Amino acid sequence: MKEKVQLTKLAPNCGCAAKVGPGTLAGILGGLPKFCDSDLLVGTDTSDDAAVYRVSDDLALIQTLDFFTPVADDPYDFGQIAAANALSDVYAMGGTPKTALNIVAFPKDMDVEILGEILRGGADKVMEAGAVLAGGHTIQDDTPKYGLSVTGFVHPRKFWQNFGAQTGDKLILTKALGAGIVNTAIKADLVTEGARKAVLASMKKLNRDACEGFKEFEVHACTDVTGFGLGGHATEMAVASDRTVVIDTEKLPVLPDVKEFASMGLIPGGAYRNREFAEKTGVKSVAELWREDLVFDPQTSGGLLAAVPERDVQEIMKRLDAAGLQAGVIGEIVDRQEWTLVLR
């Protein structure tokens, strides 16, 4: 490449931290027309990760799209992360990615070799997922953005949704938290090399192994943890399931140096929007402040959050550990209380 550019300096918010807040988004979507089709198995009603449309008795399509501003300075890394993040929605529904289309916004005066590296990163991640990259669309924009529109396959009676959690279920999270905090430290030029490498590896990791680790077991509810943070996505799960989510913050898997960065005030703005959203339905916390911030930290290409029967937890964790995932049993589902989300 002729031009060396720090991509993360080109956007005020990086990755999934650039998402519109969950409260604002819910208000907008609530005013849109409702579509009725008996074959639309999952639409906009439950704020799920993707749409599911039944094609036959044995086949349903999962459709999703996701794109964002640079979350890594290296364009190849950025492409890989954005692709992994978009593919994750299919895994969160228990499906298999099949086709993908590029979504690109790119400055007209920037070195096109940078765009080539972004697209190469995305293509390599799609290939790793076993899917096919089949085209895309580009526009000129002052701030680079990249992502994918993804179609996956799933059985119409075997997909997962972000609701249905039952009292007594245990919550499993399959990736460490703190990506938003670490990326804020990167933008502030305060990050350690160990933390930088760890967050890049985590964001580039496909949720395929996590999905496979759950597939032979009963999954009552599942979502991936992205821009709304663990707290925001757990709140959506709790409200839609008419339950309360209890999170043991001392059992959360955490990326390196996150406590130090959070204590320095390196908290992305999206964390405060996520907290405000959760507080509308009630949050009770006795956790340390930095752990509270971690719960609401917006993640980019985060892990899967699944509510599963307690009887299956040990075997699921064996499989996740064998796959090399930094997973943890982080909480439980209880009967609906005054609060939707309890942090202890």
Q: Is 48 annotated as a binding residue?
A: yes
Q: Is 300 annotated as a binding residue?
A: no
Q: Is 158 annotated as a binding residue?
A: no
Active site members? 16
Q: Is 226 annotated as a binding residue?
A: no
167: enclosing H helix or E strand: none
How far is the C-alpha of 278 from the C-alpha of 1, rounded, in Å? 44
160 burial type by CB count under 10 A (0-12 exposed, 13-18 middle, 19+ buried): buried
Q: Is 89 annotated as a binding residue?
A: yes
Q: Is 58 annotated as a binding residue?
A: no
Alpha helices in the chain (DSSP H): 22-29, 75-92, 112-128, 179-187, 193-204, 208-214, 229-241, 258-263, 269-279, 289-296, 313-322
Q: Is 335 annotated as a binding residue?
A: no
Q: Is 270 annotated as a binding residue?
A: no
Token pair belonging to 281: 């339905």
Q: Is 178 annotated as a binding residue?
A: no
Q: Are 300 and 218 spatial neighbours (Cβ–Cβ below 8 Å)?
A: no
Name the DSSP class of 18.
Answer: G
CA 85 and chain centroid, separation? 6
Across-strand partners of 284?
Answer: 342
Binding site for ATP: which residues?
A: 19, 46-48, 66, 89, 136-138
Binding site: which residues?
A: 19, 46-49, 66, 89, 136-138, 224
Binding site for Mg(2+): which residues?
A: 49, 89, 224
